[in-house]
Amino acid sequence: MNQGSSIPARILFIVPRMPVGGAETFLISILQRMDRHVIQPVIFSMGRESDPMFLKIPDEIPRYIHARKWRYDLSPCTSIEKIIIDEKIQTVVCADYFTYFYFRFAARRGTVNVRVVTLLHVTKPRSVKEFLHGFIFARMLRRSDEVLTTCENQKQFLSRLFYIPDNRFAKNIYNGIDTDYWTLATDPAIRSAKRSKYGIPENAVVIVNVAGFRREKRHDIMLKALAKIYLESPKRDYYLLFVGGGDKELRAQSELLARELNVTDRVIFAGVQADLRLMYWMSDIFTLGSTSETFSIAALEAMASGLPCVLTNVGGADEMITENVNGLLVDAGSPTSLADGWIRCASLLNSFDSRKIRKSVTERFTLHKCILNYEQYFSEKG
């Protein structure tokens, strides 16, 4: 939709699949709240109809699915081409490198003429395969194609890594969260009740990590950091709380490592939680051990809940953290640096102001502001 027009922009979002994950949850949040007078979204997934987040797409949004028989099965491309024509799509939004390849193959015959935008929610490649996908993507980009990033560091890193010209990067749009939902604890008794459930003393320092078990999240580094804390600061009680699902084998490996490091009694594997707010409210510090991260939504949620964050300095961490105001930054890949950050943060707990920490999110990273930025971006150029 051009400025001054009352016709909504017809936008097709192409996703590889819809499991439970940060990027998928974020997409659903945006779709639920977008002004239908500005944006009329359509969803196409190459996953399965039973994918958890596919089931959460708002009922009024047209959704299509064409499951791949194998990873590089190109049969969905015919469906993509047909949907673009039938739904009178003006803009195609590719969720990652992979879906961009599929769109380009679908458009190879020249029967569709649409604006093409790729949303990138990755920074450092997590594997050689992902690096190759990014490298090929950068070589395939056309002059008219646009890339949206979630932070300035991501843009600079991908530009250097894949030699993507600056003029392909259209805009940075920070992730945002619903700060009416993620709030400071409304009842102090919640903290005591939840700690009691997990057998955690009231005066213990609880460090919470909310992340799926994936290799780049580096649960092993966090466990080694906890073991190091007990060598250097044995007089203070620390508990490490892991929240999230993900790779069952990686979780089993983490549980084994906790036993080998003799920290099993100080580590809680809480799994997937129906209400994450309770996990933040019972904790003292939020942390990430990631060696690859873009712009952590979980960190924003934790800060909106009043928690100081100790984050590895990757992706957009230094664009959300102001040292000693809402958290600390540590070196990625280093259990020693992470342990030192936790100890330093714990020593500053009385000086952190939960209201100021929350304010650092409500002033810059609200979901409302994020959605307005997307709506304005798509409508101005649609």
* Higher-confidence position of 71 and 238: 238
Residue 302 has pLDDT above 90, yes or no: yes
Residue 27, helix vs strand vs coil? helix
246-286 residue pLDDT tens: 899 999 999 999 999 999 999 999 999 999 999 999 999 99
Q: Are residues 143 and 83 in the same domain?
A: yes
pLDDT of amino acid 246? 87
* Residue 303 CA: distances (Å) to CA of 64, 181, 192, 218, 369: 36, 12, 20, 21, 17
Residue 165, domain extent: 9-176+366-381
What DSSP designation does 201 have?
Answer: -
Q: Which of 149, 177, 183 lies closest to 164 in space, CA to CA?
A: 149
Residue 377 domain flag: yes
Residue 4 has pLDDT above 50, yes or no: no
Q: Are residues 199 and 314 in the same domain?
A: yes
CB 339 within 8 A of CB 232: yes
pLDDT of amino acid 230? 86
Residue 382 has pLDDT above 70, yes or no: no
Q: Are residues 40 and 141 in the same domain?
A: yes
Residue 2 domain flag: no
> What DSSP line would sit under 29-87, residue for residue?
HHHHHS-TTTEEEEEEESS-TT-TTGGGS-TTS-EEE---SSTT--THHHHHHHHHHHT
Q: Are residues 337 and 252 in the same domain?
A: yes
What CA–CA distance (Å, rounded) separates 303 from 208?
A: 12
Residue 1 has pLDDT above 50, yes or no: no
Computed on alpha carbons and rounded to an integer, the radius of gyration of the chain in Å comes to 22
CB 321 within 8 A of CB 327: yes
Residue 19, helix vs strand vs coil? coil
Q: Are residues 200 and 256 in the same domain?
A: yes
197-220 residue pLDDT tens: 999 999 999 999 999 999 999 999
Residue 87 domain flag: yes
327-381 residue pLDDT tens: 999 999 999 999 999 999 999 999 999 999 999 999 999 999 999 999 999 887 6
Q: Are residues 193 and 68 in the same domain?
A: no
> What DSSP line would sit under 286-306, residue for residue?
EE---SS-SS-HHHHHHHHTT
**Total domain count, the chain:** 2
Q: Are residues 319 and 293 in the same domain?
A: yes
What CA–CA distance (Å, rounded) separates 82 from 340?
A: 55
Instruction: Give the max Cα distance, the chain.
Output: 69
Edge-first strand order for the sheet with 63-65 is: 63-65, 39-45, 9-15, 91-94, 115-119, 146-149, 169-172
Question: pTM for this structure?
Answer: 0.89
Q: Are residues 25 and 155 in the same domain?
A: yes
What CA–CA distance (Å, rounded) separates 346 from 284?
A: 8
Q: Which of 298, 184, 22, 246 lies closest to 310 in space, CA to CA?
A: 298
Q: What does the block give as tokens for 90?
A: 């003006």
pLDDT of amino acid 5? 52
pLDDT of amino acid 215? 92
pLDDT of amino acid 146? 95
Residue carrying the six token digits 């580094």? 221
CATH of the domain at 157: 3.40.50.2000
The identity of residue 1, as a single letter, is: M
Residue 287 has pLDDT above 60, yes or no: yes
Residue 182 domain flag: no
What CA–CA distance (Å, rounded) separates 72 from 63?
A: 22
What CA–CA distance (Å, rounded) separates 152 from 67?
A: 34
Residue 150, helix vs strand vs coil? coil
Q: Are residues 147 and 197 in the same domain?
A: no
Element (H, E) at 330: strand 327-330
Tell me what the pLDDT averaged over the chain comes to: 92
The residues facing 9 across adjacent strands are 39
Residue 299 has pLDDT above 90, yes or no: yes
* Higher-confidence position of 297 and 124: 297
Phi, psi of 230 (to 5 degrees): -75, -15
